[in-house]
């Protein structure tokens, strides 16, 4: 048996804590830092996610994890000039795997603060250099170039957690966990997610272009490793809004939709033109943008308060301007880890530019959900697969 002692469990009072393999070796190696319990939950879940994304799309994939759910996930689709600006990569030479992580991190930069990064491919210097300037707790990848490892060992005063995963590792088909002294056993969720799940299209509009199908697959694979209930909005090769762990699906759809709206609003000309002071830290910039976009913008723009962020007082982004900008959004894909029980989810999704949906189907109100999709000419696929994750 191989075991590894951890700093503590979920909380500092939960000691001792360890991970172990009853037979064989642990499938990862600690190259730097000391892992905690939650670090490894994030690492092992995010590793599965990026491996499945790469297998499904053929593209390098990355994820940004927080509290055992993804804040973002993406594949290596080239960045537009606008995305380069909002992701802080203008003028940078990005490799495909760096591009994937930049996208994953940029899906929800507020939630990605202090994340655990996962890469499907070897971590290179471009990815490590981007991570060097972000607040992050650790990374898992199948390998690291010597330069990348040297860069990552500079983070967090030398304590940044770096894990190397054995890419050949395959777990046993049955998994076991214990809750309150009771052992639970089940088959691992090894369902394969690919475009065959999008074949059943009950809506009048049955056209799902190749890029939208890719984004639906990205959303579904992301949901497979997101605490349920969960939905995921995706566009342009990445998640743009993830709602996790909500007891009500409509609240999940609203939460994720609000995040998707923020992702789009960060690209508004007024946001891109905000006159930030030179040298302002990325987290401070992210927080300021989030407040500026929200209904609380007066907290940033009130007399004198703006001076700690901007060289001059910026114009207000009005509610009318936000609504007009979001009204132009379309082509967004939405995945759900289970069926939508009511058409209200579709109504909310439509407000965030959703044109394509993949959900389980099987609700007694499927007819209402289909009718609501038809109302907005949304193409929907019933996957027949539930993706609960707990």
| Amino acid 286: pLDDT | 93
- Write the DSSP string, 150-165: HHHTTGGGGT-EEEEE
> In terms of domains, do 248 and 334 share one?
yes
Q: Is 141 helix (H, G, I), strand (E, B) or coil?
A: strand
User: Which residues are 242's β-sheet partners?
Assistant: 232
- Average of per-residue pLDDT across 15-30: 93
Q: pLDDT for 285-338, tens place per residue? A: 999 999 999 877 777 777 677 888 899 999 899 999 999 999 999 999 999 999
In a domain, 389, yes or no: no
Measuring CA to CA, which residue among 232, 133, 117, 200 is closest to residue 165? Answer: 117
In a domain, 311, yes or no: yes
Q: How far apart are CA 72 and CA 70, in angstroms?
A: 5
> In terms of domains, do 30 and 105 share one?
yes
User: Which residues are 72's β-sheet partners?
Assistant: 64
> In terms of domains, do 26 and 127 share one?
yes
Q: pLDDT for 238-260, tens place per residue? A: 999 999 999 999 999 999 999 99
**Average pLDDT of the chain to the nearest whole number:** 95
In a domain, 236, yes or no: yes
Q: Would you name the residues annotated as active-site residues?
A: 66-67, 229, 390
Examine the fold and report which residue of 145, 170, 195 is the final residue of a domain before the chain moves on.
Answer: 170
> In terms of domains, do 62 and 145 share one?
yes
In a domain, 232, yes or no: yes
> In terms of domains, do 333 and 304 share one?
no
Examine the fold and report which residue of 170, 199, 219 is the final residue of a domain before the chain moves on.
Answer: 170
The number of beta carbons lying within 10 Å of the beta carbon of residue 67 is: 16
In a domain, 321, yes or no: no
In a domain, 390, yes or no: no
Q: Is 17 exposed, middle or buried (0-12, 13-18, 19+ CB in 10 A)?
A: middle
| Amino acid 228: pLDDT | 94
- Write the DSSP string, 179-211: ETTEEEEEE------SGGGG-B--SS-----HH
| Amino acid 345: pLDDT | 97
Q: How far apart are CA 31 and CA 63, in angstroms?
A: 20
| Amino acid 317: pLDDT | 93
| Amino acid 304: pLDDT | 75
DSSP state of 198: G
| Amino acid 297: pLDDT | 75
- Average of per-residue pLDDT across 253-271: 97
Q: Is 184 helix (H, G, I), strand (E, B) or coil?
A: strand
23 falls in which pLDDT band (50, 70, 90)? confident
> In terms of domains, do 245 and 377 share one?
yes
Task: Please check whether residue 225 is in contact with residue 388, taking contact to mean a CB–CB distance below 8 angstroms.
Answer: no
Which one has a higher pLDDT value, 212 or 295?
Answer: 212
> In terms of domains, do 217 and 81 share one?
no
| Amino acid 355: pLDDT | 98
> In terms of domains, do 142 and 286 share one?
no
In this structure, what are the phi and psi dihedrals at residue 362, rounded to the nearest 5 degrees?
105, 5
Angle at 354 between CA 356 and CA 83, to 5 degrees: 110
> In terms of domains, do 124 and 247 share one?
no
Stretch among 123-127, 206-210, 304-308, 361-365 having the lowest mean pLDDT: 304-308
Buried b (16+ CB within 10 A) or exposed e, 170-207: eeeeeeeeeeeeeeeeeeeeeeebeeebbeeebbeeee
> In terms of domains, do 258 and 197 share one?
yes
Q: Is 268 exposed, middle or buried (0-12, 13-18, 19+ CB in 10 A)?
A: middle
Measuring CA to CA, which residue among 239, 240, 243 is closest to residue 263? Answer: 240
Q: Is 58 exposed, middle or buried (0-12, 13-18, 19+ CB in 10 A)?
A: exposed
In a domain, 108, yes or no: yes
Q: Which residues contact 382 (CB under 8 A, 6 or more apart)?
A: 200, 201, 202, 359, 360, 361, 362, 366
Q: CA dist 389 to 105, 167, 188, Å?
A: 22, 23, 11
Q: How far apart are CA 334 and CA 356, in angstroms?
A: 6
| Amino acid 298: pLDDT | 74
105 falls in which pLDDT band (50, 70, 90)? very high
Examine the fold and report which residue of 149, 170, 191 is the final residue of a domain before the chain moves on.
Answer: 170
- Average of per-residue pLDDT across 58-66: 97
> In terms of domains, do 261 and 274 share one?
no
Q: Which CATH number characterizes residue 71's domain? A: 3.40.140.20
The domain tally of the chain equals 3
Lookup result for tokens 């594949």: 75
pLDDT at 1 over 90: no
Please state, for a pLDDT cut of 70, what percent of the chain lies above it.
99
| Amino acid 36: pLDDT | 95
Measuring CA to CA, which residue among 359, 357, 353 is closest to residue 336? Answer: 359
**What tokens appear for 200 in the block?**
């059943």
Q: How far apart are CA 99 and CA 127, in angstroms?
A: 8
In a domain, 388, yes or no: no
- Enclosing domain of residue 51: 2-170
- Average of per-residue pLDDT across 256-283: 95
Lookup result for tokens 């907290």: 299
> In terms of domains, do 277 and 305 share one?
yes
């Amino acid at each position: 048996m191989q075991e590894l002692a951890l700093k503590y469990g979920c909380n500092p009072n939960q000691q001792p804590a360890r991970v172990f393999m009853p037979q064989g070796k642990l499938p990862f190696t600690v190259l730097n830092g000391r892992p905690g319990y939650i670090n490894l939950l994030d690492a092992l879940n995010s590793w599965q996610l990026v491996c499945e994304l790469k297998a499904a799309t053929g593209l390098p994939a990355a994820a940004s994890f927080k509290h055992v759910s993804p804040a973002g996930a993406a594949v290596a689709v080239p960045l537009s000039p606008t995305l380069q600006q909002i992701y802080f990569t203008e003028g940078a030479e990005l490799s495909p795997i760096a591009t994937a992580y930049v996208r994953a991190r940029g899906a929800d930069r507020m939630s990605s603060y202090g994340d655990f990064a996962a890469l499907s491919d070897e971590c290179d210097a471009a990815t490590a250099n981007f991570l060097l300037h972000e607040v992050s707790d650790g990374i898992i990848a199948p390998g690291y170039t010597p330069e990348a490892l040297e860069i990552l060992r500079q983070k967090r005063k030398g304590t940044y957690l770096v894990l190397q995963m054995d890419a050949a590792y395959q777990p046993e088909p049955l998994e076991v966990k214990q809750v309150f002294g009771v052992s639970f056993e089940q088959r691992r969720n090894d369902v394969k997610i690919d475009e065959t799940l999008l074949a059943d299209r009950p809506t009048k509009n049955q056209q799902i272009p190749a890029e939208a199908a890719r984004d639906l697959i990205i959303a579904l694979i992301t949901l497979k490793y997101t605490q349920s209930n969960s939905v995921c909005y995706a566009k342009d090769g990445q998640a743009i809004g993830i709602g996790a762990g909500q007891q009500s699906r409509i609240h999940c759809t609203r939460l994720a939709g609000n995040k998707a709206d923020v992702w789009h609003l960060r690209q508004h000309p007024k946001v891109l033109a905000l006159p930030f002071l030179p040298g302002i830290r990325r987290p401070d910039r992210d927080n300021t943008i989030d407040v500026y976009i929200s209904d609380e913008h007066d907290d940033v723009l009130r007399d004198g308060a703006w001076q700690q962020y901007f060289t001059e007082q910026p114009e207000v982004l009005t509610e009318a301007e936000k609504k007009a900008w979001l009204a132009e959004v379309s082509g967004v894909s939405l995945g759900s880890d289970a069926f939508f029980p009511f058409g209200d989810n579709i109504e909310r999704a439509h407000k965030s530019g959703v044109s394509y949906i993949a959900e389980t189907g099987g609700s007694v109100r499927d007819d209402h959900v289909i009718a609501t999709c038809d109302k907005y000419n949304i193409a929907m696929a019933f996957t027949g697969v539930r993706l609960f994750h707990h």
